[in-house]
Structure 1
Amino acid sequence: MPPRGAPVFITDLADRFLHLPVVNLSLNEPGRHQRRALTDELPAADAAAWRLSVGYGSKQGFDELWSAFLAAVDPAAVRALLIGPWWVRDYLPVRETLDRIVADAERFPALEALYIADVTSEDCEISWLEMSDVTPVLKAFPQLTELVVRGGNGLRLDPVRHDRLTALRFESGGLPDDVVRAVAASELPALERLELWFGVDEYGGDATIDDIAPILAGTRLPSLRHLGLENSEFQDEIAAAVAHAPVVPQLESLSLAMGVLSDEGAAALLDGQPLTHLKALDLHHHYVTDAMQERVHQALPGVDVDLSEAEEDDEDEWRYVAVAE
């Protein structure tokens, strides 16, 4: 159960965000991803989610695109923004782009949703995205209800309190451990959906089971209804911890998908606290045997269990997460 407007694969762009159709904008560079130029006739500001994209090799960068966007669309009515490629040629950190957006935060009183780096592998591999500190975004937009961040290289977050955020997702092939700890230490009383893609150590994914312990305790997340702890090399450890986690009874759906879950982790889930209250359990992309898959289905007859994308161990027992590079 992905958050509103989530892409199905890393090769896809979001086509809806905050229940709004995404309009892809560039500076007179229509073409790929059905981009529309800012000189085109555009829908009302509150009728679309606006994706801003700098074309490769463009003569104008994000500053020019941002200025043109503010002139063409009433920022006071904008509800959702997606930031596509922000560089012209060489991959650049997103810091200056976020600084520009934060500087104009007061002009966006209606902004509810922000997607930082809605970028496919066609433009840049997820592990090559140059990120930065996203804390200023949460501080500048206290009215934000949904934040999605793609990429982990250089990503930073400080513990924050945000009273309105209901959905938070970090998509990464390597999520830094200090970012995971910052999420766990944040005060997010309204948060209903949390998804973390841990990735692999090779690309900076150095979080451990201890880093997510406060999340599993649930004390700072009283409104949480969907938890995704995904795309992990230590998926069996996560499953074993989830099996006894205090946060689980309050959840409506749970995702341990995209990682290297095996029979060991699946058995731990079945041997732990009841999961029959869940509406959905997403375990897709896994290394669970057919026999154990059948056990899971039989144990959870009223739960929508996704055990698709079963992977097979090779002779060297190499296992891969769904998203790394």
Structure 2
Amino acid sequence: MISSHLSSFTGLPVLPFTPGMTLPDDPSAVAWRLEVEDFEADPEEFAALVAALRDEVPADAVRALVIGEWGSAYERALPVDLLVEAAEEWTSLRAVFLADLVSEQCEISWLTQGDITPLLAAYPSLEVLWVRGGNELHLDPVRHTGLRELVFQTGGLPGSVAAAVGGCDLPALERLELWLGRQDYGGDTTRLELADVLAGTRLPALRHLAVCNAEHADRIAETVAAASVVRQLEVLDLSKGILTDVGAEALLAGQPLTHLRRLDLHHSFLSESTRKQVVAALPGVEVDLSDPQAAEVYNGREYRFTAVGE
């Protein structure tokens, strides 16, 4: 599912930063990638890399950052503090991706994050924040008037983080992605933790909502079917999870969805008849039912899996 590094981020080509490199003619026209080669590098190595970027690239040219391997990502939290320390210089920074690592570097469920709240506090003009990995991830409810896009890609999203997102005041947020994942990888988010997000009270600008990669996707669909936030959406994404006919039927039995521009249900466990029913019920809506899944049977038992797990 996540098999390669980003080649572009927020419309900018990703360029790895190397100390002493020749800078492009316009260093503000790229998303700078920061990554150490050794996956067990000492913390000082990544700190030195950040320091070199601060020294060699004009501060106002740092518009987007993609953070790759920082050293022992499977056990040491991404050093957000290094980015916070640069905030007074990087006043043009608008987009950050924390942990663009592939499985060969570190499985998504092993990626160790930490408290990302200071990053949002330090960059009030930040517009895009992507976070990969939910292990030890923490967020406190904050007010942030600049953020337009917030994405959490995890094999298991802590319920406390989902609840904190719902407690945030994000008046400009247009896109929110919550990859819930599986309980055995730390994904303990329930409908209770999602209540504030699905109410949409603090998300007046939200138009694209993904509550996806969910182990209990049927329960999520049942809740979304009555959620107030759906009325303001253009895109609803319940993909990548264990959505079955039960969840799809509950979704269709709830509030009208014909106002949507797109409904994403790819990688789901729907029967052919239910897939046809969904399409027929939503004329004019782009419905993504690609990558249909079927249960795997072992010793007479059926098993279903989210698209992204370990």
**What's the TM-score once normalised by structure 1's chain length?**
0.90
**Paired position in structure 1 for 2:69:** 85
Q: Describe the SS at the equivalent of 2:33.
A: strand
Structure 2 residue aligned with 1:68, among 52, 55, 62?
52
Contact 1:243 1:269 in 2 (8 A): yes
**Paired position in structure 2 for 1:19:** 11
Distance across 1 between alignment mates of 2:75 and 2:305: 28
| Residue identity in the other structure for 1:93 | R
Instruction: Count how many residue pairs are aligned between Structure 1 and Structure 2.
Output: 305
Q: Describe the SS at the equivalent of 2:17.
A: strand
**Paired position in structure 1 for 2:269:** 287
Unaligned segments of structure 2, at least 5 residues: none
Question: In the TM superposition, what are the counterparts of 1:155-166 in structure 2 within 5 Å?
Answer: 155-166=137-148
Distance across 2 between alignment mates of 1:119 and 1:105: 24
Deviation at 1:272, TM superposition (A): 1.1
**Paired position in structure 2 for 1:300:** 282
Unaligned segments of structure 1, at least 5 residues: 1-8, 28-37
Q: Deviations over 1:207-245 (max 9, x none)?
A: 111110111111111000000000111111111111111
Distance across 1 between alignment mates of 2:175 and 2:163: 17
| Residue identity in the other structure for 1:25 | F
| Residue identity in the other structure for 2:77 | V
Structure 1 residues 41 and 142: CA distance shift in structure 2, 3 A? closer
**Paired position in structure 2 for 1:31:** none
**Paired position in structure 1 for 2:260:** 278
Question: In the TM superposition, what are the counterparts of 1:186-205 in structure 2 within 5 Å?
Answer: 186-205=168-187
**Paired position in structure 2 for 1:94:** 77
Q: Deviations over 1:40-89 (max 9, x none)?
A: 343422100111110016687101111211222112221111110001x5
Moved more, 9-18 or 136-145: 9-18
Structure 2 residue aligned with 1:258, among 240, 244, 268?
240
Contact 1:23 1:49 in 2 (8 A): yes
Structure 2 residue aligned with 1:226, among 197, 208, 212?
208
**What's the TM-score once normalised by structure 2's chain length?**
0.95
Taking only the aligned residue pairs, the percentage that are identical comes to: 49
| Residue identity in the other structure for 1:79 | R
Distance across 2 between alignment mates of 1:142 and 1:13: 27
Contact 1:26 1:54 in 2 (8 A): no
Question: In the TM superposition, what are the counterparts of 1:38-57 in structure 2 within 5 Å?
Answer: 38-56=20-38
Distance across 1 between alignment mates of 2:25 and 2:33: 13
**Paired position in structure 2 for 1:211:** 193
1:317 aligns with 2:299: no
Q: Which runs of 4+ in 1 moved over 6 A?
A: none
Contact 2:113 2:136 in 1 (8 A): yes
1:237 aligns with 2:219: yes
Distance across 1 between alignment mates of 2:63 and 2:291: 35
Contact 2:109 2:134 in 1 (8 A): yes
**Paired position in structure 2 for 1:176:** 158
Distance across 2 between alignment mates of 1:314 and 1:94: 35
Deviation at 1:18, TM superposition (A): 1.6
| Residue identity in the other structure for 1:54 | V
Contact 2:41 2:70 in 1 (8 A): no
| Residue identity in the other structure for 1:123 | Q
The RMSD of aligned alpha carbons is 1.5
Contact 2:214 2:306 in 1 (8 A): yes
Contact 2:217 2:238 in 1 (8 A): yes
Structure 1 residues 25 and 294: CA distance shift in structure 2, 3 A? same
Question: In the TM superposition, what are the counterparts of 1:128-139 in structure 2 within 5 Å?
Answer: 128-139=110-121
| Residue identity in the other structure for 1:257 | S
| Residue identity in the other structure for 1:53 | E
Contact 2:62 2:92 in 1 (8 A): yes
Structure 1 residues 43 and 322: CA distance shift in structure 2, 3 A? farther
